[in-house]
């Protein structure tokens, strides 16, 4: 009988923005001798600290954190790059005899890290990319909807993804599977259904192939508490210099267009700094948009039935659950 290979144990902490994920991950890391890998699509960028709610040195409480400040905000960072760096971080954490803890609200990054079949091995199609690069993200999404409606719907739910031209082009490329017969003619997309594309869509619906032994811990305040947390945190960020951070990033070469692409805080900071809205309008819009973002995050996470949800006050129950998982 073949001996079963023992997988690396990984704890995953998820939840909507402002729910208290970072504090919870730190408490788990202190109790179980762990290190934390951030799973946040904007906290990977250097200089984007206050606007993204990046954990401070003091809040880390001596716990080592990975995948913060690893990318230039002027350039796009994607899930494939995240997966490579995160897996390297897990290997290093394990080599030190520590527990890897993934913490963040970017569900797609977490799935890309864990699921062997999520990111495609379809090779680049440079000719197709050149043609598609002339189109706006909105136009590209219309093309993707015809080819892979599920992937298009996922991208549309994310502020950063639906404005990420490169990510949408890659999704189209994968859906077409690099077929040489693709034609983009006068703003219209001409294509034929193909067996390879159908097979690819079926693969996307297959069960997750997880290379790690994982436990999901979800933290979710009740609706009213979360709305209050979002507003309190937004006002605190503004007091701590979020506007100056936006001004400083622009001064270092981050264009207004790129700030808009980065979404949420940076989108509205760009509008405010260009005097396209008042400070009061910025706060009101941001408070609303962050709440909508939190709801979209929960919609994403609700698909994953492995997540066990807890309230912010359930730290003892969470510790017991993690302890039981590690003893198996």
Instruction: Please give the pLDDT value at position 37.
Output: 98
Please indicate, yes or no, whether residues 196 and 268 belong to a single structural domain of this protein.
Answer: no
Number of domains in the chain: 2
Q: Which of 204, 234, 262 is the last residue of a domain?
A: 204
Looking at residue 188, its pLDDT comes to 45
Pair 229, 38: CB distance under 8 Å:
no
- List the structure tokens of 282: 């910025």
pLDDT class of 231 with cuts at 50, 70, 90? very high
From 204, 227, 256, give the residue that closes a domain: 204
The answer to whether residue 1 is domain-embedded is no
Q: pTM score, two decimals?
A: 0.77
- Does 282 have pLDDT greater than 90? yes
Residue 222 has pLDDT above 70, yes or no: yes
β-sheet bridge partners, residue 282: none
> How does residue 157 score in pLDDT terms, banded at 50, 70 and 90?
confident
Instruction: With cut-offs at 50, 70 and 90, classify the pLDDT of residue 117.
Output: low
Co-location of 231 and 215 in the same domain:
yes
Domain boundary (151, 170, 204) is at: 204
At 184 the pLDDT is 41
Q: How confident is the model at residue 160 (pLDDT cuts 50, 70, 90)?
A: low
Q: In terms of domains, do 37 and 113 share one?
A: yes
Residues 230 and 315 both lie in one domain: yes
Query: Looking at the structure, do residues 69 and 173 belong to the same domain, yes or no?
Result: no
Q: pLDDT tens digit string along 30-49? A: 999 999 999 999 999 999 99
Domain that holds residue 187: 126-204
Tens digit of pLDDT for each residue in 163-216?
888 888 888 887 776 443 334 443 444 444 333 333 333 333 333 456 799 999
Say what the pLDDT of residue 116 is. Answer: 64
pLDDT tens for 59-71 read 999 999 999 999 9
One-letter-per-residue 3-state SS of the chain = CCCCCCCCEEEEEECCCCCCHHHHHHHHHHHHCEEEEECCCCCCECCCCCCCCCCCHHHHCCCCEECCCCECCCCCCCHHHHHHHHHHHHHHHHHCCCEEEEECCCHHHHHHHHECCCCCCCCCCHHHHHHHCCCCHHHHHHHHHHHCHHHHHHHHCCHHHHCCHHHHHHHHHHHHCCCCCCEEECCEEECCCCHHHHHHHHHHCCCCCECCEEEEEEECCCHHHHHHHHHHHHHHHHHCCHHHHHHHHHHCCCCHHHHHHHCHHHHHHHHHHCCCCCHHHHHHHHHHHHHHHHHHHHHHHHCCCCEEEECCCCHHHHHHHHHHHHHC
Are 253 and 316 in a shared domain? yes
Residue 2 within any structural domain of the chain: no
What is the percentage of the chain residues whose pLDDT exceeds 70? Answer: 85
Residue 130, pLDDT score: 86
Please check whether residues 71 and 155 belong to one and the same domain.
no
Please state, rounded to an integer, the average pLDDT across all residues of the chain.
Answer: 86
Question: Does a structural domain hold residue 236?
Answer: yes
Using alpha carbons, select from 39, 19, 78, 5 the residue that is nearest to residue 294.
19
Please give the C-alpha separations between residue 77 and each of 166, 214, 289, 299, in angstroms, as whole numbers. Answer: 10, 25, 23, 24
Q: Tell whether 96 and 171 lie within a shared domain.
A: no
**pLDDT given at position 192:** 40
Q: What's the CATH number where 98 sits?
A: 3.40.50.300
Residue 4 lies in a domain: no
């Amino acid at each position: 009988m073949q001996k079963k290979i023992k997988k690396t144990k990984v704890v995953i902490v998820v939840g909507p923005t402002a729910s208290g994920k970072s504090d919870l991950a730190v408490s788990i890391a202190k109790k179980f001798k762990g290190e934390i890998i951030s799973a946040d699509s904007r906290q990977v960028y250097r200089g984007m600290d206050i606007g993204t709610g990046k954990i401070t040195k003091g809040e880390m409480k001596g716990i080592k954190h990975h995948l913060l400040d690893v990318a230039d905000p002027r350039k796009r960072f994607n899930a494939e790059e995240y997966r490579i760096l995160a897996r390297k971080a897990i290997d290093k954490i394990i080599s030190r005899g520590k527990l890897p803890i993934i913490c963040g609200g970017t569900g797609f990054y977490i799935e890309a890290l864990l699921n062997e079949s999520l990111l495609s091995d379809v090779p680049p199609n440079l000719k197709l990319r050149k043609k598609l690069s002339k189109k706006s993200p909105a136009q590209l999404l219309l093309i993707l909807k015809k080819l892979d409606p599920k992937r298009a719907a996922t991208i549309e739910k994310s502020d950063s993804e639906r404005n990420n031209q490169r990510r949408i082009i890659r999704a189209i490329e994968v859906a077409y599977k690099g077929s040489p017969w693709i034609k983009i003619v006068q703003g219209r997309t001409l294509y034929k259904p193909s067996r390879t594309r159908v097979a690819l869509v079926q693969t996307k619906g297959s069960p997750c192939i997880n290379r790690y032994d994982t436990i999901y811990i979800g933290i979710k305040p009740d609706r009213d508490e979360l709305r209050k947390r979002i507003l309190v945190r937004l006002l605190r960020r503004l007091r701590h210099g979020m506007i100056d951070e936006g001004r400083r990033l622009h001064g270092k070469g981050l264009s207004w267009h790129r700030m808009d692409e980065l979404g949420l805080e940076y989108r509205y900071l760009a509008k405010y700094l260009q005097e396209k809205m008042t400070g009061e309008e910025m706060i009101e819009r941001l408070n609303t948009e962050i709440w909508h973002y939190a709801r979209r995050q929960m919609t994403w996470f609700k698909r994953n039935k492995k997540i066990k949800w807890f309230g912010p006050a359930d730290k003892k129950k969470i510790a017991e659950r993690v302890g039981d998982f590690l003893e198996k």
